[in-house]
Amino acid sequence: MQIDRLSINNINNIQEFLCTLNEPIIITDLFSHWPSVTLAKQSPLVLLRSLVTQASAELVDTLIIDKQYKGLIGYTDNKFKNYTFEKHNAPLISVLKKLIINFNNQGSDTIAVQSALINECLPDFCIKNPAPNFLANVPPRIWLGNAATVPGHYDIEHNIALNLCGKRTFYLLPANEIKNLYVAPIDRAVAGPAISLVDFENPDFEKYPKFKAAKEKVLTATLEIGEALYIPPLWWHNVKAIDPVNILVNYWWDPTSTKSDLGLEATDSLLHSILTLRNLPESQRRAWQALFSHYVFEKTDEFKNKSNEYHGILSNSHESLKSVAN
């Protein structure tokens, strides 16, 4: 199924709109004013040469994928110990120049810069290409390389992903499809979150038969230059960069997060629960499930509107949480 496209002109309050949407959507013109979008539409090489002039000496995480793996960022064995790539720290300017040299060489290894902070590696970029107002305080990140595939994974925050150069296709599924996705062990993640072993576009049903139940629910978004995809928190997305040069700029943000207040993430709770609860006897796991349901997922509060004296961890306010943490 294709994802809907929408113009920013048809959205009154974009942050409120996105945070209540809970499904992916393509915004066609959120970044159309950027000079870098104009350069990319002229030619990938024009944009790359412009970025070379802006790049600092900052080292960025860079994956080199042997051509035998056809650009896939993943595992080479069933023990989840060996990867299809080598990870290096390289100056962004060197990577950009390598992409220019390799532009017409389709047989070269895949290069993939991952999640580099633009303020550090391209310090003038944000001045020339300012973020929309609601993202003004969010540090943008850049992902660039040639044709690479990022396996299905999720992010814990809201995500705006701008396709700055080339073409990318996203294949998306909601969080509750995890049971059909054959997710690799969470402690052997490739580059952050756990990944699905299934190719969402061309699944191998012999190896991954449960994915049949999810295949018809896959949402597809192929982004042209300058288009942005909104991805809600915890949505799975399998991403394929298609062209010889592909550049993506993204913004992760969460207006409701208490991370800055407490120094904690929801992922911490998940990992701690796996370590402490997963191997308990079933009767105890069920008991803990009831407690989690009561306190976390149903947010039960018998004292709400009955007492003005209690201000604590169950008060559902950032101020109360900060007071508990301190």
Q: Is the predicted pLDDT of residue 81 greater than 80, yes or no?
A: yes
Pairing verdict, β 110-117 and 59-65: antiparallel
Domains of the chain, start order: 5-253 (2.60.120.10), 259-325 (no CATH)
Closest CA to 111 of 168, 73, 163: 73
Following DSSP, what letter does each residue of 236-258 receive, concatenated?
EEEEEE-SSSEEEEEEEE-TT--
What pLDDT does residue 128 have?
Answer: 96
| DSSP β-bridge partners for residue 170 | 221, 239
What pLDDT does residue 144 have?
Answer: 97
Q: Is the predicted pLDDT of residue 305 greater than 80, yes or no?
A: no
Asked whether the whole model's pTM tops 0.75, one would answer yes
What is the SS3 assignment for 295? Answer: helix
Query: Are the C-beta atoms of residues 52 and 96 closer than 8 Å to each other?
Result: yes
What pLDDT does residue 321 have?
Answer: 59
Q: Is the predicted pLDDT of residue 37 greater than 70, yes or no?
A: yes
Mean pLDDT, the chain, rounded, equals: 91
With b meaning 16 or more CB within 10 Å and e meaning fewer, what string describes 253-268?
bbeebbeeeeeeeeee
No. of helices (H) and no. of strands (E), the chain:
11, 13
Question: How confident is residue 71, by pLDDT bands cut at 50, 70 and 90?
Answer: very high
What pLDDT does residue 197 have?
Answer: 97
What's the whole-number mean pLDDT along residues 203-229?
Answer: 97
Query: What is the CB neighbour count within 10 angstroms for residue 6?
Result: 17
Question: How confident is residue 249, by pLDDT bands cut at 50, 70 and 90?
Answer: very high
Question: How confident is residue 119, by pLDDT bands cut at 50, 70 and 90?
Answer: very high
Q: What is the amino acid identity at position 198?
A: V
Question: How confident is residue 314, by pLDDT bands cut at 50, 70 and 90?
Answer: confident
Question: How confident is residue 116, by pLDDT bands cut at 50, 70 and 90?
Answer: very high
Instruction: Pick the most confident of 13-22, 228-237, 304-313.
Output: 228-237
What pLDDT does residue 313 have?
Answer: 73
Q: Is the predicted pLDDT of residue 192 greater than 90, yes or no?
A: no
What is the SS3 assignment for 264? Answer: coil
What's the token pair of residue 181? 């996705």
More confident residue, 296 or 50: 50
